[in-house]
Structure 1
Amino acid sequence: MTTVVWSAGSLRDPDAPLITAWDHGLTVGDGLFETMTVRDGGIFALTRHLARLSYGADRLGLGVVDTDEVRHAVAEVLRAGEGAVTRVRVTLTSGPGPMGSARGDGPHTLVVTGVDVKRPRVCHAVRAPWRRNERGALAGVKSTSYAENAVMIAFARDKGADEAIVANTQGHLCEGTASNVILERQGELVTPPLASGCLAGITRGLALEWGAAAGMPIRASAPGELTMAALDEVLTGETHLAVTSSTRGVQHVSSLDGQALEPGPMLRRLAAQFELRAEQEPDPGLPRSK
Structure 2
Amino acid sequence: MTTTVWVDGRFVGEDEPALVALDHGLTVGDGVFETLGVVDGVGFALTRHLARLARSAAGLGLATPDETLIRRAVAEVLAHAGDTAQRLRITVTGGVGPLGSGRTEGRQTVVVAASPGGHGPTSKVVRAPWVRNERSAVAGLKTTSYAENVVALAYAKERGADEAILANTVGELCEGTGANVFVERGGELVTPPLSSGCLAGITRALTLEWGAEVGLPVREAAPGELTFDVLDEVERGEAHLLVTGSVRNLTPVVELDGAPVEPGRLSQRLAQLFAARQRDLVDP
TM-score between both structures, scaled by the size of structure 1: 0.96
Q: Distance in 2 between matches of 1:119 and 1:78?
A: 19
Q: Distance in 2 between matches of 1:86 and 1:121?
A: 15
Q: CA deviation at 1:16?
A: 2.0
Q: CA deviation at 1:21?
A: 0.9
Give yes or no for the alignment of 1:108 onto 2:108: yes
Partner in structure 2 of residue 228 of structure 1 = 228
Given that residues 120 and 247 in structure 1 are in contact (C-alpha distance below 8 angstroms), is that contact kept between their aligned partners in structure 2? no
Partner in structure 1 of residue 259 of structure 2 = 259
Letter in 2 for 1:183: V
Give yes or no for the alignment of 1:175 onto 2:175: yes
Partner in structure 2 of residue 288 of structure 1 = none
State how 1:66-85 maps to structure 2 within 5 Å: 66-85=66-85
Partner in structure 2 of residue 19 of structure 1 = 19
Given that residues 85 and 114 in structure 1 are in contact (C-alpha distance below 8 angstroms), is that contact kept between their aligned partners in structure 2? yes
Q: CA deviation at 1:83?
A: 2.0
Partner in structure 2 of residue 185 of structure 1 = 185
Given that residues 4 and 115 in structure 1 are in contact (C-alpha distance below 8 angstroms), is that contact kept between their aligned partners in structure 2? yes
Q: Distance in 1 between matches of 2:13 and 2:164?
A: 34
Partner in structure 2 of residue 131 of structure 1 = 131
Q: CA deviation at 1:40?
A: 1.1
Partner in structure 2 of residue 47 of structure 1 = 47
Q: CA deviation at 1:120?
A: 3.5
Divergent runs of 4+, >4 A: none
State how 1:188-227 maps to structure 2 within 5 Å: 188-227=188-227
Letter in 2 for 1:268: Q
Q: Distance in 2 between matches of 1:86 and 1:162?
A: 18
- The answer to which of 76-85 and 231-240 deviates more is 76-85
Q: Secondary structure at the match of 2:56?
A: helix
Given that residues 128 and 164 in structure 2 are in contact (C-alpha distance below 8 angstroms), is that contact kept between their aligned partners in structure 1? yes
- Structure 1, gaps ≥5 residues long: 285-290
Letter in 1 for 2:35: T
Partner in structure 1 of residue 157 of structure 2 = 157
Q: Distance in 1 between matches of 2:166 and 2:39?
A: 30
Q: CA deviation at 1:259?
A: 1.0
Letter in 2 for 1:124: K
Q: Distance in 1 between matches of 2:237 and 2:247?
A: 26
Partner in structure 1 of residue 268 of structure 2 = 268
Q: Distance in 2 between matches of 1:121 and 1:214?
A: 22
Q: Secondary structure at the match of 1:38?
A: strand
Given that residues 87 and 117 in structure 1 are in contact (C-alpha distance below 8 angstroms), is that contact kept between their aligned partners in structure 2? yes
Partner in structure 1 of residue 283 of structure 2 = 283
Q: CA deviation at 1:156?
A: 1.1
TM-score between both structures, scaled by the size of structure 2: 0.98
- 1:132-160 CA distances to partner (integer Å, 9 max, x unpaired)? 00010110001100000111111112222
- Structure 2, gaps ≥5 residues long: none
Q: Distance in 2 between matches of 1:202 and 1:65?
A: 19
Partner in structure 1 of residue 145 of structure 2 = 145
Given that residues 191 and 220 in structure 2 are in contact (C-alpha distance below 8 angstroms), is that contact kept between their aligned partners in structure 1? yes
Given that residues 193 and 223 in structure 1 are in contact (C-alpha distance below 8 angstroms), is that contact kept between their aligned partners in structure 2? yes
- 1:199-220 CA distances to partner (integer Å, 9 max, x unpaired)? 0011000000000001011110
Letter in 2 for 1:198: C
Q: Secondary structure at the match of 1:227?
A: coil
Q: CA deviation at 1:116?
A: 1.5
Q: Secondary structure at the match of 1:82?
A: helix
- 1:84-113 CA distances to partner (integer Å, 9 max, x unpaired)? 211111111111111110011221110111
- 1:166-189 CA distances to partner (integer Å, 9 max, x unpaired)? 000000000000100001111111
- 1:191-247 CA distances to partner (integer Å, 9 max, x unpaired)? 000000000011000000000001011110001110011100001111010100011
Identity %, equivalent residues: 56
Q: CA deviation at 1:118?
A: 3.2
Q: Distance in 2 between matches of 1:207 and 1:166?
A: 21
Q: Secondary structure at the match of 2:110?
A: strand
Letter in 1 for 2:7: S
Given that residues 121 and 252 in structure 2 are in contact (C-alpha distance below 8 angstroms), is that contact kept between their aligned partners in structure 1? no
Q: Distance in 2 between matches of 1:157 and 1:83?
A: 28
Given that residues 164 and 177 in structure 1 are in contact (C-alpha distance below 8 angstroms), is that contact kept between their aligned partners in structure 2? yes
Q: Secondary structure at the match of 1:77?
A: helix
Q: Secondary structure at the match of 1:65?
A: coil
